[in-house]
Structure 1
């Protein structure tokens, strides 16, 4: 919203408006925007589930009884090996999966956040 439109809105709301009113409202809006930055992790997690491959991998990891190796995940999704690796890295970055390396093998597991988001998506509660 431009400052002139904001000024008009304040005038409509309270009957008058000065520069100090506009500055005060802009400061309030900046504080509001700053307070929402704490939820960037949740936004990233939702965004990660927006991709079909990442969504499927999250569901598989969630349904598994413990960790799964990349070699176990590759055959069940119809994407390249590098595509699976990239999707899993995105899930780890978004907080939806954990990664553990043991020798040449990488193991993945779902996180509590993934479980909660999937429960909500399925109509349950977290």
Structure 2
């Protein structure tokens, strides 16, 4: 029996007045099913993780505030990191669903997604409250 099970048993007893091994097992099974259903989509988690880096956060803000697409060469001077670091950060944003990438010849253009814009809008509303 794990250290958690006695606590879970006490919780069930407090809730329903009594508890047996079957009650504990049933609740553990319910919790395992709940955890499995909650871990299906990693998109939001990936997006929050991407925004946890200062460079990626600033790039997302810039792309969201800009009308249209921007090239790496336009972003590099405003985030004060190397071109390769900007490219890597942008690739992470694309993978997280926060930016789009379009290639035209040797140039790659980036734009924010509606998801990124919505996420930043929610963050802004929360900081204003």
What corresponds to 1:56 in structure 2?
58
Alignment equivalent of 2:37, drawn from 35, 38, 50: 35
Return the alpha-carbon distance in structure 2 between the equivalents of residues 118 and 38 of structure 1: 23
- Where 2:101 maps in the other structure, the secondary structure is strand
CA–CA separation in structure 2 for the residues paired with 1:46 and 1:6 = 31
Report the Cα distance in structure 1 between the residues aligned to 2:30 and 2:112, rounded to whole angstroms: 38
User: Bigger CA drift: 99-108 or 114-123?
Assistant: 99-108
Q: Runs (4+) of structure 1 moved beyond 2 Å?
A: none
Structure-1-length-normalised TM-score:
0.89
SS at match of 2:100: strand
The number of equivalent residue pairs is 124
TM superposition shift of 1:39: 4.4
Report SS of the residue matched to 2:40.
helix
Query: How many Å separate the matches in 2 of 1:29 and 1:73?
Result: 45
Deviation string 1:85-104 (CA, Å, 9 cap, x unpaired) is 11111111110001112221
- Equivalent in 92, 95, 113 of residue 93 of structure 1: 95
